[in-house]
Amino acid sequence: GENVEQHPSTLSVQEGDSAVIKCTYSDSASNYFPWYKQELGKRPQLIIDIRSNVGEKKDQRIAVTLNKTAKHFSLHITETQPEDSAVYFCAASIPPGGSYIPTFGRGTSLIVHP
Amino acid sequence: DVKVTQSSRYLVKRTGEKVFLECVQDMDHENMFWYRQDPGLGLRLIYFSYDVKMKEKGDIPEGYSVSREKKERFSLILESASTNQTSMYLCASSLYRGRWDSPLHFGNGTRLTVT
């Protein structure tokens, strides 16, 4: 099945700095790459996703980039704010008919210091 | 907005007990999942289902079983609870039958403690 590696496991930044979280995947057939944010004591929620036919996608301060050749994708958060503090999970999944479902990275704990 | 509801937020059970974790979704989603979340290990898939009465093993099915008698409800069963099953359990659903390239909608989780 798919193997997703996520780095770093912990990221500490000052408010206003940028944060970057990187994930690598093993199966070149993977075509859907979502990112989930889990605030303390809450459910994971989708914040942005990208498909393999797109190289980059932005939503306000959040962006995701995909490098299919290198099999990695990254979450970029600009102008970080304390409310961005959370655990972020990446995932990768394959097209319909594939034999496995979305595989998650182990998560990155982002801490934004005021 | 999709709502995935897990019946219990916190649960404390004794070793050897049979435990039922219930999950209901209200948006006619085809796929439902049970994940286990442990610090440093991320989200690990226990079982999933893409149709009523269908179930498939995930990465860590040992010690668990599931039931999906109705489309909206997916139950996780611990046949004989053990202390190493103390964890946060998350239920999730997604829309298209057998398609994994769409967002997951998670419940709030059940924190299970087995003593």
With contact defined as beta carbons under 8 Å apart, do B90 and A43 qualify? yes
What residues contact A92, with CB distance under 8 A and at least 6 apart? Answer: A2, A4, A23, A25, A27, A30, A32, A33, A73, A102, A103
Q: Is B11 on the interface with A (CB under 8 A)?
A: no
Smallest CA–CA separation between A66 and chain B, in Å? Answer: 16
Nearest to B96 by CA among B46, B44, B27, B23: B27
Rounded Cα–Cα distance for residues A89 and A37 (Å): 6
Note the pLDDT tens digit of each residue in A41-98: 999 999 999 998 889 999 999 999 999 999 999 999 999 999 999 999 999 987 665 5
Give the confidence band of A23 by pLDDT, cuts at 50, 70, 90. Answer: very high
pLDDT of A10 higher than 70: yes
Q: CB-CB: which of A42, A95, A107 is closest to B101?
A: A95
Determine the residue type at A74: S
Quick one: pLDDT at residue A100? 62
A-proximal residues of B, 23-42, CB under 8 Å: 33, 40-42
pLDDT for A57 equals 95
- Contact status of B106 with chain A (Cβ, < 8 Å): yes
Give the integer Cα–Cα distance in Å for B88 and B35. Answer: 8
A-chain residues near B99 (CB < 8 A)? 96
Query: How high does pLDDT run on average in chain B?
Result: 94
**Which two three-digit tokens encode residue A80?**
């970080």
Please list every residue in chain B whose beta carbon sits closer than 8 Å to the beta carbon of residue A34: 103-104
The distance of Cα A2 from the centroid of its chain, to the nearest Å, equals 16
Identify any residues that bridge with A75 across adjacent strands, giving them in sequence order: A21, A64
Nearest to B33 by CA among B114, B112, B103, B113: B103
CA distance B32 to B49: 5
Q: Does B10 touch chain A (CB under 8 A)?
A: no
Q: Is the Cβ pair A44, B48 closer than 8 Å?
A: no
Q: Which of A5, A20, A29 is nearest to A80 (CA)?
A: A20
